[in-house]
Amino acid sequence: MGKAAKVLDNLKKDLPYENEINFSKTKRVFDNSKVESHSAIIPTYLMPKSLTTDEEIVYNSIKNRFIMQFMPVAEYEETIITTKVNHSDIKGIFLSKGKVQLIEGWKKVEKIESKDTFLPNVNINDIVNIVDYNMTSHVTKPPKHHTEKTLLRVMETCGKGHEDENSEEMMAAVLSGFSIGTPATRAETIKKLKDVGYITSQNKNLICTELGKKIVETFPVKQLFDLEFTGRLEKTLSDIEKQKFSKENFINLIVDFTTKSVNTIKGDKDIILNEVSKEKREIEVLGKCPVCGHGIIEGTKGFGCSNWKNGCKFVIWKNDKFLSTMKKKPTKTMVKTLLKNGVVQVKGLTSKKGNKFDANLRYEKNPDNDYFSWKMEFINTPQNQKSNV
Ligand SMILES: [Zn+2]
């Protein structure tokens, strides 16, 4: 705390609002009971010398945040002005809602532009002049798409009071643990939804995909889509931290909820959400295994028997030594023909001398063990004779 005071003394020198900065040890600034896994970043008393533009932006933002805490609280009045036009043809009254700033306080530091409408200071029964007027018509629009920024905001508060970034209600929500994840994990959650394909981004907007819509419409455990429900779980976790709720009770609640949910999902009818990806995953059978008759499928290192779990060892290696001396790798087509006919004609093999030739290849079981080896038969083609293998 002594260190923070010294830093502040250094930083406030020559600022136009220097005399409004006062070091204080109030609980609003230093609250050890709220220290959790993510601590605050504050500047040190070393003054930076040569910062790049980007570094300066980051440094100033940290510095300003630090200074703001020791400035007076900004104060304003929530105001509604009711105006009646003094003309018999114009009926009704006009309402102007907005704020009247009383003390600028910490907002001076960054001249924070508020989206609030500031109203002039008027008194009841004041008579004012109409300077200008015009009529506009409006059509209501559906709410805008979320951007990553606005979605993070909603996650922070579980949908509570997100209209006003600095509202007490929102701060209370964040501080009481009523929020999804931590600052470090929220962005990761959004990335996961993108990776799975439930959402996608268009420019800055986050759009729900068809797959995302389907899962929301058909998934039977509706609580998992309920912000309030998730918020309550997170709140309980933070209550456990504060020893207001017992770990055992929470685990019981979760086990109970999970068991019920899994049973609901099991009892629900099967709905195919994404047929395309299912087709993709379907494995192509290239032919019958000459040993056991099961299907041969392509793996990363070779074409092998799908019955390998039961011990069938049949495999055609992709980096087979015999073939690679002739600069050949087994292809899917080659394997298919070989399995069907027991022999395959391979074109464009390379001899030791570097000549190209064709040959018939067989893949036969060794008489003395369970492994297979390639057998080659030359074909008497004009090309082969010419090249003199
Ligand atoms: Zn087999």
DSSP assignment of 91-137 equals -S-EEEEEEEEEE-GGGGTTTPPPSSPBPP---TT------------
Token output for 137: 């018509």
Token pair 């009926």 is at which residue? 91
CA of 372 to the centre of ligand 1 (A): 12
CA of 236 to the centre of ligand 1 (A): 55
CA of 285 to the centre of ligand 1 (A): 12
pLDDT digit string (tens) for 183-217? 778 888 899 999 888 999 888 899 999 889 988 88
C-beta separation of 379 from 360 below 8 A = yes
Edge-to-edge strands, sheet with 372-378:
344-350, 356-365, 372-378
CA of 296 to the centre of ligand 1 (A): 7
CA of 373 to the centre of ligand 1 (A): 16
Please give the helix or strand (H or E) that residue 211 lies within, else none. Answer: helix 210-218
Q: Is residue 361 exposed (0-12), middle (13-18) or buried (19+ Cβ within 10 Å)?
A: buried
- Rounded Cα–Cα distance for residues 201 and 99 (Å): 36
Cα–Cα nearest to 130, from 79, 81, 82, 86? 86
Per-residue pLDDT tens digits of the chain, which is 389 residues long? 678 888 888 888 888 888 888 888 777 777 766 666 566 788 888 888 888 999 999 999 999 988 988 888 888 888 888 888 888 787 888 888 888 878 888 888 887 767 777 888 888 888 888 888 888 888 888 888 999 988 888 888 775 644 455 555 555 655 566 677 777 788 888 999 998 889 998 888 999 998 899 888 888 888 888 877 877 887 888 888 888 889 999 999 999 999 999 998 888 877 776 655 444 556 789 999 999 999 999 988 899 999 888 888 899 999 998 999 999 999 999 999 999 999 999 998 998 888 889 999 999 998 888 889 999 988 766 555 544 44
pLDDT digit string (tens) for 234-291? 788 888 888 888 999 999 999 999 999 999 888 887 777 665 544 455 678 999 999 9
- Rounded Cα–Cα distance for residues 229 and 232 (Å): 5
CA of 302 to the centre of ligand 1 (A): 14
* Secondary structure (3-state) at 361: strand
CA of 358 to the centre of ligand 1 (A): 29
- Rounded Cα–Cα distance for residues 231 and 178 (Å): 5
Token output for 87: 């003309």
Token pair 């040993």 is at which residue? 291
Please give the helix or strand (H or E) that residue 28 lies within, else none. Answer: none
Please give the helix or strand (H or E) that residue 256 lies within, else none. Answer: helix 247-267
